[in-house]
Amino acid sequence: MTPASFSDVAIPIRKKVAFYTLGCKLNFSETATIARDFSNEEFERVAFEKPADIYVINTCSVTDNADKKFKGLVKRALSKNPNAFVAAIGCYAQLQPEQLAAIDGVDLVLGATEKFKLTAYLNDLTKKENPEVHACEIEEVDFYESGFSLGDRTRSFLKVQDGCDYKCTYCTIPQARGISRSDRLENVISNAKNIAAQGIREIVLTGVNIGDYGKGEFGNKKHEHTFLELIQALDRVEGVERIRISSIEPNLLQDETIEFVSQSQRFVPHFHIPLQSGSDQILNKMKRRYLSGLYRERVKKIKSLMPDACIGVDVIVGFPGETEEHFLETFRFLEELPVSYLHVFTYSERPNTEAVSLANPIPMELRSKRSKLLRSLSVKKRHQFYESQLGKEVEVLFENENKKGYIQGFSTNYVKVRSPWNPERVNTTLKVRLETIDEGGYVRFSL
């Protein structure tokens, strides 16, 4: 019998799949985890801008802009391949599944639980006149799915917690992600070791409310471990140079945590602490769990132990009932605090939230004006912080992208530097002296 020639052997055609993530670091972590389910002979992952057979968009529900951006992404995907299968997953898919399914070109909508089983829904990739929708009741979302990102950057987003038990009047996240629950400590440590083994130098801890870590770790409301115990255990993981805490609520950022970070060789002096408003009256209307005085104390504590620490702030403008005096209270509060930059969110009405029914909504043009004022303050704050760091020696971790002929990197305390592209510096740590701030707002350095 004559052996079959190589040309006679049928080679299966791999389906091309592309991903796009809207929203937070937690979404990026989960997209990366879901994408690893496609790492087999059946699928080939490609960039979102390339022609693909399947486009997966991980959605966000925090702002109205994220909703609008989703529609644009569907159009972009279908412009590359009009016959592509488009799947919407994530928070917006859980909150408004029928609304997403009504968008022309969408074939599949998966909610909070179902998104982690995406490959099971891809047996038939023909375009659908009537899209499939699978989104469970949010009360049923009580299990935890581990996650971390690999391969995309010089850092990894490590998911440690999901969901939220807070009832902030403007927020849809509890409706989109369910109750607060945590990964088991041994799983977090195992994932951190896995990340370190890949040569990734920085881990960013992510979750919806990471300061609540430990709740729901074993499927109950009891705290088996605390956030402090989590970071103490991670601090002992060999092979990771840096660990960065992402956003943490001020009422859950304990003095003991700040003190531990100040002494740690791995945890970096960078905190991102949501404020939302500098007015106690507005904080009460938002049903936040602290007042401005506690926030001020947290910043003071950080700066007393780590004078060069970077502190980022989330702030919402245009919340219902926010008078000019309320806004000025917030502006002056932030102007006086030694914080380093602001993430400014213009309040947008979200369905099924308490804030929608509050009196005295703020006109959109006034919301926009206030946002611009706070964004200008953010530019000023960042410049002041960078100026305070000039002349100091810092360790910079360089990124892996060539951005218009430059390589960029971040110091441990989140100063952004750049220099002419040098591929030998990719994913390396270098001690440099910060020298000047260039026209793009980056810091230049000398060796």
pLDDT per position as a tens digit, 15-31: 999 999 998 999 999 99
Predicted pLDDT at 36 = 92
pLDDT for the residue 6: 45
Q: Is the pLDDT of residue 307 over 80?
A: yes
Q: What is the pLDDT of residue 328?
A: 98
Look at residue 2 in the predicted model and tell me its pLDDT.
47
Q: What domains lie within the chain, and their CATH numbers?
A: 12-136 (3.40.50.2300), 142-268 (3.30.750.210), 393-446 (2.40.50)
pLDDT at 218: 80
| pLDDT recorded at residue 91 | 93
So what's the pLDDT on residue 1?
Answer: 44
| 29-40 pLDDT tens trace | 999 999 999 977
H-state helical runs in 122-254: 173-177, 185-197, 227-234
d(CA 293, CA 279): 10
Candidates 54, 161, 42, 147; CA nearest to 108 is 54
CA 107 to chain centroid, in Å, comes to 26
What are phi and psi for residue 27, nearest 5 degrees?
A: -60, -40
Q: How confident is the model at residue 300 (pLDDT cuts 50, 70, 90)?
A: very high
- Say what the pLDDT of residue 148 is: 94
- Listed range (2-16, 33-47, 263-277, 432-446) with the worst mean pLDDT: 2-16
Helix axis angle, 185-197 relative to 227-234, nearest 10°? 30
Lowest pLDDT segment from 50-54, 158-162, 309-313, 348-352: 348-352
pLDDT of residue 413: 98
Alpha helix (H) ranges present in 198-279?
227-234, 255-263
Per-residue model confidence (pLDDT) at position 438: 96
pLDDT of residue 8: 53
Answer yes or no: is pLDDT of 7 > 60: no
* pLDDT given at position 118: 96
> Is 140's pLDDT higher than 80?
no
Name the residue among 406, 443, 409, 405 with its Cα closest to residue 429: 409
Is the pTM of the predicted complex or chain greater than 0.75? yes
pLDDT of amino acid 135: 86
In this prediction, residues 163-171 reach a mean pLDDT of: 96
The closest of 411, 376, 377, 374 to 396, measured between CA atoms, is 411
Res. 79: pLDDT tops 80: yes
Average pLDDT over residues 342-360: 95
| 87 vs 11: which has the higher pLDDT | 87
Give residue 41's pLDDT.
72
Please write the tens of the pLDDT for every residue from 380-416: 999 999 999 999 999 999 999 999 999 999 999 999 9
Other C-beta atoms lying within 10 Å of the C-beta of residue 49 = 11
pLDDT the model gives residue 110: 96
11 DSSP 8-state letter: P
| Confidence (pLDDT) at 61 | 82
Please state, for a pLDDT cut of 70, what percent of the chain lies above it: 96
pLDDT of 152 reads 60
The mean per-residue pLDDT over the stretch 286-302 comes to 98
Q: Is the pLDDT of residue 4 over 60?
A: no
**DSSP secondary structure of 186-204:** HHHHHHHHHHHHTT--EEE
Structure confidence at residue 151 (pLDDT)? 67
Q: Is the pLDDT of residue 447 over 70?
A: yes
Mind listing the pLDDT tens digit for each residue in 213-247? 999 988 777 788 999 999 999 999 999 999 999 89
Q: What distance in Å separates the CA atoms of residue 104 and residue 122, rounded to the nearest whole number?
A: 19
Q: Is the pLDDT of residue 169 over 90?
A: yes
Mean pLDDT of the region 96-108: 94
Name the amino acid, one letter, at 284: N
